[in-house]
Amino acid sequence: MLELFQFPWSPYCFVPKLILDYCGVPFKSIAVPPNDRTLVWKATRERYYGVPILRDGREVVFETDPNSQVICKYLDFKFQAGLFPTGLEGVQSILWRYIENDVEEMTFKLNDAHYREFVPKAQQLAYLRHKERKFGAGCIDHWRENAEALQAELTRRLLPFEDMLLEQPFLLGDVPRFVDFDLHGMLGNFLFTGHYGLPAEHGRLKRWYEALPKLKHPNVAQHRKKLRS
């Protein structure tokens, strides 16, 4: 069985999980403590300590740089999900950088503002220290106090995706592509604590968000048969 090593609230971990669900593939989810990457370090033979990673039998798959999509491309190839068609390679690479930088910049701050609700108490000090070393002392308090302004900026940054759904059900056409799952993952992180909702101004985006997890790839039965063989 495939194993996904992940943080339960990580936007980057939501993405392969959603793709696996879309392909109808059973998998084991392994939660990694944010302050202890030993499981990942051992699984990758001391080559990587980030999340997510994917273990497929003896194969361990992880990212090679901040803009790679090694795990999702591996799943796409293995299950022939059609998420990375050659003709959309350029536009998708531009879009996922915007999604994982401009959009994620807002979503993780709003989520982390409530870190005490989802990070186990014994791990909260290390989590806070990590954030403050990266973003400055008091950063989480600042995000919480400025949540309204951050949500307004997120609403603005999501406008291009609302527009992309004007005449089509998915961001790049009639079927979901990788960027649909990628954006869904960032928004899943934003909504994780239940403190927020998708912008009321973006009704099409809200319908798209609710519909995507319910979809199944047409070849789900073949995917399951392949895993049993």
- The confidence score (pLDDT) of residue 228 equals 57
Within this chain, do residues 136 and 41 fall inside the same structural domain, yes or no?
Answer: no
- The confidence score (pLDDT) of residue 221 equals 61
Alpha helices in 167-218 (DSSP H): 178-190, 203-211
Within this chain, do residues 53 and 102 fall inside the same structural domain, yes or no?
Answer: no
Within this chain, do residues 169 and 126 fall inside the same structural domain, yes or no?
Answer: yes
Q: Which domain holds residue 112?
A: 86-214
Within this chain, do residues 92 and 204 fall inside the same structural domain, yes or no?
Answer: yes
What is the rounded end-to-end Cα distance, in angstroms, of the chain? 12
The count of domains in the chain is 2
Closest CA to 107 of 73, 71, 158, 43: 158
- The confidence score (pLDDT) of residue 8 equals 93
- The confidence score (pLDDT) of residue 17 equals 98
Within this chain, do residues 106 and 70 fall inside the same structural domain, yes or no?
Answer: no
Within this chain, do residues 174 and 97 fall inside the same structural domain, yes or no?
Answer: yes
Q: Which residues pair with 173 in a beta bridge?
A: 170
**Cα–chain center distance at 72:** 10
Within this chain, do residues 107 and 157 fall inside the same structural domain, yes or no?
Answer: yes
Q: pLDDT 10s per residue in the chain (229 long)?
A: 999 999 999 999 999 999 999 999 999 999 999 889 999 999 999 999 999 999 999 999 999 998 899 999 999 999 999 999 999 999 999 999 999 999 999 999 999 999 999 999 999 999 999 999 999 999 999 999 999 999 999 999 999 999 999 999 999 999 999 999 999 999 999 999 999 999 999 999 999 999 999 999 988 666 555 555 5
- The confidence score (pLDDT) of residue 35 equals 86
d(CA 39, CA 28): 14
- The confidence score (pLDDT) of residue 161 equals 98
d(CA 227, CA 223): 6
Within this chain, do residues 67 and 139 fall inside the same structural domain, yes or no?
Answer: no
| H or E element, residue 59 | strand 59-61
Q: Which residues pair with 2 in a beta bridge?
A: 27
Within this chain, do residues 101 and 203 fall inside the same structural domain, yes or no?
Answer: yes
